[in-house]
Structure 1
Amino acid sequence: MPPLSSSSSSPSSPSPIAHDAVVTALRAAGCVFAEDEARLILAAARTPDELAAMVDRRVTGLPLELVLGWAEFRGLRIAVEPGVFVPRRRTEFLVEQALAHGPDASVVVDLCCGSGAVGAALAAALGRVELHAADIDPAAVRCARRNVAPFDGQVHTGDLYEALPAGLRGRVGILAANVPYVPTGEVGFLPAEAREHEPRVALDGGPDGLDVLRRVAAEAPRWLAPGGCLVVETSERQAPTALEAFTSSGLSARLVVSEELYANVVVGLNMPGNRS
């Protein structure tokens, strides 16, 4: 491989040799968007040694976002770290649907928050809100605290609603839950970047992938304000069963699809008088 830098250049102003070497290394490793990834890595590296180390981590299979230490999500730079679920671009559609169905929400909860990207994006769009996020994984909680801090968000550790302050019951305008929804038997078929570098608890949704979704839907009416919405991402195949879980809890449910992002979001509205 050609040298990553020359004596007359630095990563802040990379020479053509450095740029070409990074692109070549990434292409050889199978990175489809080698040019774009090279630009990001070169911009992030502060020294030639750091550049070499970052390229090495990427070519050995570490996700780009973990190499950089951040992921872009709805225009925000979301801090990510090893062992934490990396936010996907398709989940931006979940945020869009939450905003469409709860444009005046003053209390927002990001359940199964991972890095806290969804909660941070909602708070950034809504302005001043009371923001809470929760996750069962302590590593995710630590990461989420960094990302929701600019919005005065609070992050809680625990299993779904058990983590939340009791004072939120009946007050939540937007309840966003990017739950794990990969069936247990299919986790092994995920891309290596997810399978090897993200926590199983953030991926495995049980035998049919909907165990966590059902639990979230069942309890949602007790936490949502009248007219509040629950938004959950799922797959096309699982959508009919997910809709049934929402309606069984008393929510008025509909499926919204983005063909561009291959995203399927179930939206449930808590109708006034529902105390399921």
Structure 2
Amino acid sequence: MAAVELRPGAALAPFVARMGRYRGDHPPGRELSLPTGAVQLTVNLAEDALSRWGAAPMRVGGAGFVGPSGGPAVIDPAQQRDTVWVLFRAGGAAAFLPGGAHELRDGLVDLADVWGRDGATLRERLLSAADPVRALERVLTGRLLRGPDPALVAAARALHDGASVAATADRLGWTTRHLGRRFAAGIGLAPKRFGRVRRFQRLLRAVTAGGAPDWARLAVECGYYDQAHLVNEFRDLSGLTPGAYRPRDPAARNHVPLSPIPPEGSGRSSEA
């Protein structure tokens, strides 16, 4: 396995959390991809295809946006053998999208459908580049459509930290309905679902930090009402019980190998 990661330059830093290249020897199969609430841009340098199984099977060319998800999806780990990727900050992807981020929700969207010819030729450009990650950084810098939305950034941070939707809206002087519309357009998820996904991510980080999980303690520390609430949320957001959670490795906490391989169309996502 080889991984190269870089932090973007000043122009992209408000929009992009991290970007890099990953290479690994993964056989074909199926993995659960757990929700993070983030948008990712992925370019598959090994094969001109990306696939995802959620509410319906999705297959696009080798470059695409992976939208924010409110639940688990199924992916083929073999498509991660050689990828260049960009992980956007909350609300950051909207600066590169002609439409709103809500158009990406729970989806896998071919880059050609978003950027036209530039999207259709991006993979070939990266294949011929001496440094594909830096080449992608230059492309993104040239495609900025707008600046960051400070209000949405603040809302996402508050929800990430565990604030309620009502408290977040009140802090901004908005109604909860206005927050919902702005958040869905800029982030891609409803505020409540985003907050639940980010709390789930805090839980996964704690679980993979080492040692046998004390679920009752983790429920309190991560903001769940009690252990039963944690179990219900875990099942809703991952399709698994906490005891069945076996990530590929601690560094890949959002990837859970599946056995046996499920049929196409398995996986689910729901709004709350």
**With structure 2 as the length reference, what TM-score do the two structures score?**
0.29
Report which structure shows greater RCO (CA 8 Å, sep ≥6).
Answer: 2
> Which has the larger Rg?
1
